[in-house]
């Protein structure tokens, strides 16, 4: 079997599949690629991790507040910490809905400005934006 990569050959030798069936070699190659990609991602995208502890009461309060925003408690905690660091960026609940409203209103405005959309379609965009906004405002913050 020919291999161009010395690291791959060493991995296959260590796995003991060089004298095995072609299926076993292919399986080991796939596993090597997975490990290679995993290590490459860790090297290219270094991340820092913070581990903190809370009392049960504090954790329950964090979970309930995150539930109000329809977020996971870890996502909520991360956003809260980042919002504290960058005071201009607060926690925006239900961001996807706000982006949808902005998209619909923008499509309507562009359609009116360029006169490319019929009036009924502009009206539909604005009505859908209104519906999404009403749903957004009904959710607890």
Are 82 and 89 spatial neighbours (Cβ–Cβ below 8 Å)?
Answer: yes
43 or 60: which carries more pLDDT confidence? Answer: 60
Closest CA to 103 of 125, 84, 120: 125
- pLDDT at residue 141 tops 60: no
Of 9-18, 20-29, 46-55, 87-96, the least confident: 87-96
Residue among 65, 67, 63, 137 nearest 97 (CA): 137
Residue count of the chain, please give it.
141
The pLDDT of 41-66, averaged and rounded, is 89
- The span from the CA of 100 to the CA of 126, in Å, is 11
Q: How do residues 82-97 score in pLDDT, each as one tens digit?
A: 877 876 556 667 778 8
What tokens were used for 81? Answer: 């910490």
Q: For residue 44, what pLDDT band results from cuts at 50, 70 and 90?
A: confident
């Amino acid at each position: 079997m020919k291999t161009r990569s010395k690291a791959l050959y060493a991995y296959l030798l260590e796995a003991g599949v060089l004298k095995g069936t072609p299926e076993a070699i292919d399986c080991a190659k796939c596993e090597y690629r997975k490990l290679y990609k995993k290590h490459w991602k860790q090297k290219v995208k270094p991340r820092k991790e913070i581990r903190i502890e809370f009392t049960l009461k504090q954790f329950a309060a964090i979970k309930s507040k995150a539930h109000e925003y329809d977020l996971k408690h870890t996502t909520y905690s991360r956003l809260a910490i980042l919002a504290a660091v960058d005071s201009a960026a607060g926690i925006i609940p239900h961001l996807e809905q706000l982006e949808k409203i902005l998209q619909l209103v923008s499509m309507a405005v562009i359609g009116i400005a360029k006169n490319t959309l019929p009036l009924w379609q502009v009206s539909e965009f604005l009505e859908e934006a209104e519906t999404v906004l009403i749903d957004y405002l009904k959710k607890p913050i």
